Amino acid sequence: MDLSILIPSRHEIFLKNTIEDITKNIRGDTEVIAVLDGEWANPPIIDHPRVTLIYHPESIGQRAATNEAARLSQAKYLIKCDSHCSFDEGFDVKLMTDMQDDWTMVPIMRNLHVFDWVCRRCGDKRYQGPTPTSCPKCDNTTDFERDVVWIAKTNPQSTAFCFDPEPHLQYFRGFKRRPEGRGDITETMSLQGSCFMITREKYFELNICDENTFGSWGSQGIEVACKTWLSGGRVICNHKTWYAHLFRTQGGDFGFPYHNSGRQIQCAKQMAKEVFFNNKWPKQIHPISWLIEKFWPVPGWKDEDLIAIGGKVPVAQSVPTPIVTAPQENLTKGIVYYTDNRIDEDLAQMVMDSIIEARLPVVAASLQPIDFFGMNIVLDLERSYLTMFKQVLEGLEALDTDIVFLVEHDVLYSKEHFDFTPIENDRFYYNKNNWQVRQSDGHAVYWDCKKVSQVCGYRDLFLKHYTERVRRVEAEGFTRAMGFEPGSHGRAERVDDVTSEFFETKIPNLDIRHKGNLTSSRWSPDKFRNKPKNWTESHVNKLLGWEDLMPCGNTS
């Protein structure tokens, strides 16, 4: 056997599809070893001579399951992949043909469109996500079916990754524009973790899935990449073939199969930082600064960050980021939703419903678990401004889309809000048509303003801003002179020099003010230091699109 494909699987309804896709597309002497970690596969896996199943009645964890499958293998090469992936025809032979013994190799990564929800009554279709509870075109609330399409999207195609000083995984899109980022075989500083190839010998020599240090889940791509690079190997992307990965960003019964608490994720990040940034890994022959210098400039890294880990800033010109001058059909959009969980259930559900209408992938960053929508990242922190900034950053890190809308738990959004596409990728965009509404009586006020709950822009720009914002607030504390809204002022305390612009929808968004708001509410112009522009008062039922809204949740 030349290659074993290792698949750790837990609560995974698409494992059968993944295995069938692999067996259909392999062309070499390749086998599949899947670990059913905590339950039998449902739907069951069809018997196949190239497929071996290992069953555990109690879950042992993702890294442990991968290691068990690796120990069973006798192949020269191993591929670890997630249990919701599809592959190019002959991907195994294409990868093995170019593979070298001290490399870790990844194919191009695409996004996988697995299924659509279909209303059995009227035939309405919606993009994959949690089981629907209503149909937008009829009164159906229970009768839906999955229509499996299994489409590997051709955009985006990710070929380079990196990590920042936290460390958070980053998509290194700018690397494609460098000379060393072009060609069929290119290096990548890090990898995403859902699929990678390595020799079986190197897998065990480098302890590539160290469950004792890093836990069951988290920072696996950073662990694999650092161990490969720092031990003298190379991490390579092979552009001759691809795989497609299902990103579970809508939660509920469409969430991540393994439990991934905010504390566990943070622990894995801290261990990666402790081991690699402090050069404590015993098998390394290079310091971490060597790797950062090799790919410099690296998104998220400042000169002082590199110097802090013992590096020297290379003499290099930054690669300019091209301006996107017009909306593009293939740009992907997603939502980062953040909540401190201090909101009544009725209002929370109304907000969820308005977000679900957008039919976009959602990452929800909360302080307590929420189950009704979104990939849920739970941070074990107390409510504060810094916590809010960290929630946004965690959500941005988890979301894999070109464009991001920041969404708060107490704002009702019009579907039109999410139809907007930012024109340029060097600035933020704020929806000008937003009204502040008092939950108790529906009193509404408007003035020209920029609010975080109304902002959208390109993910890369958001990541840079919130990475620096969190770093600054952790080091210096938060002051209101810094402001909350990216790109909204030019004070000396600003986070960066990014600017912003307005866009305006026909139907307004509603910022519901209630007893649990983190920021204060102002209901008259004399409460402002500077006179607000275009101050207007009304009632929510007089606003276009919201005539039948009140009451806004539980006002008791």
pLDDT in tens, 515-539: 766 666 778 888 777 788 899 999 9
In the beta sheet, which residues pair with residue 73? none
Top mean pLDDT of 84-98, 136-150, 330-344 is at 84-98
Residue whose tokens read 């401004």:
385
Residues 252 and 356 in one domain: no
Among residues 260, 275, 290, which one ends one of the domains? Answer: 275
What is the DSSP track for 178-245? SGGG-SSEEE-SB--SSEEEEEHHHHHHTTSS-HHHH-SSS-HHHHHHHHHHHTT-EEEEEEEEEEEE
Domain containing 445 — which CATH number? 3.90.550
Task: Kindly indicate the confidence band of residue 321, based on its pLDDT and cuts at 50, 70 and 90.
Answer: very low
Beta strands 234-245 and 499-503: pairing type? unpaired
Residues 216 and 357 in one domain: no
Residues 482 and 381 in one domain: yes
Q: What is the DSSP letter of 277?
A: I
Residues 157 and 247 in one domain: yes
Residues 359 and 228 in one domain: no
Number of domains in the chain: 2
- The backbone torsions φ and ψ at residue 297, rounded to the nearest 5 degrees and listed phi first, read -80, 145
Is residue 135 in a domain? no
Residues 9 and 98 in one domain: yes
Among residues 275, 292, 325, which one ends one of the domains? Answer: 275
Residues 527 and 409 in one domain: yes
Is residue 136 in a domain? no
Is residue 308 in a domain? no
| Residue pLDDT, tens place only, 491-509 | 888 999 999 999 999 999 9
Is residue 9 in a domain? yes
Residues 451 and 370 in one domain: yes
Is residue 26 in a domain? yes
- Report pTM: 0.62
- pLDDT of residue 543 exceeding 80: yes
Q: Are 196 and 237 in contact (CB under 8 A)?
A: no
299: burial class by Cβ within 10 Å (0-12, 13-18, 19+)? buried
Residues 474 and 365 in one domain: yes
Q: What is the pLDDT of residue 136?
A: 81
Is residue 358 in a domain? yes
Residue whose tokens read 């929806």:
431
Is residue 183 in a domain? yes
Closest Cα to residue 246, out of 473, 478, 458, 9? 9
Is residue 139 in a domain? no
| Residue pLDDT, tens place only, 184-229 | 999 999 998 899 999 999 999 999 998 888 877 778 899 999 999 9
Residues 241 and 343 in one domain: no
Task: Kindly indicate the confidence band of residue 548, based on its pLDDT and cuts at 50, 70 and 90.
Answer: confident
Residues 359 and 443 in one domain: yes
Q: What is the mean pLDDT of residues 263-269?
A: 72
Q: What is the pLDDT of residue 343?
A: 81
Q: Are 6 and 80 in contact (CB under 8 A)?
A: yes
Distance (Å, rounded) from C-alpha 80 to C-alpha 22? 13
Q: What is the pLDDT of residue 556?
A: 43
- C-alpha to C-alpha distances, 285 to 76, 189, 234, nearest whole angstrom: 24, 16, 13
Among residues 251, 275, 299, which one ends one of the domains? Answer: 275
Q: Which domain holds residue 36?
A: 3-116+151-275
First to last CA, the chain: 67
Range in 7-16, 426-435, 513-522 the model is least confident about: 513-522
Domain containing 190 — which CATH number? 3.90.550.10
Residue whose tokens read 């612009």:
501
Residues 262 and 354 in one domain: no
- pLDDT of residue 477 exceeding 80: yes
Element (H, E) at 255: none
